[in-house]
Amino acid sequence: MTSDPQPRRLHWAAIVVEAVGAALRLVTSVVVVALVGSGGSGSTALTFGVAGIAISVLAAWLSWSRTTYWLDDVALHLRSGVFTPDERIVPRSRVQAVDTGAGPVQRLFGVVELRVQTPGASDEEEIVLTA
């Protein structure tokens, strides 16, 4: 290991993974707008849908551009956050498990999600690298 590792970015496929996840969460809202809003006009729902997808892609790119990680002799570091940067540090001695998984979009790009678990993390991963 080097004493001064360089921060790395996630694979660019993380942008697509995050944008698809956000767009799928918006589907319910778009359906409600289509059924309730503007007297049954589908153009309003389509406008909201396209705007939602555009915002999802922009937010995913912004999140990706502000996320870096690196591994040094002591710990795994993850720095993320657009407006208020947050740094999570997991000492190597605290790593309990490292799991990988791949959803449909991740398999399409040939990447995996890495979950680093530590004891006492209340059934949640301490660090998740999406691609």
Q: Tens digit of pLDDT for each residue in 67-112? A: 999 999 999 999 998 888 888 888 989 888 889 999 888 888 888 9
Helices (H), the chain: 13-36, 42-65, 104-109
**Whole-prediction pTM value?**
0.73
Strand partners, 70: 77
Distances (CA, A) of 47 to 10, 25, 37, 53, 75: 31, 17, 12, 10, 46
Amino acid at 109: F
Residue 55 pLDDT class (50, 70, 90 cuts): confident
Please answer whether residues 88 and 37 qualify as being in contact, where contact means their C-beta atoms are separated by less than 8 angstroms. no
Yes or no: say if 45 and 34 are a contact pair by the CB < 8 Å rule: yes
Residues 6+ apart with CB under 8 A from 97: 115, 116, 117
Residue 86 phi, psi dihedral angles, 5° rounding: -120, 135
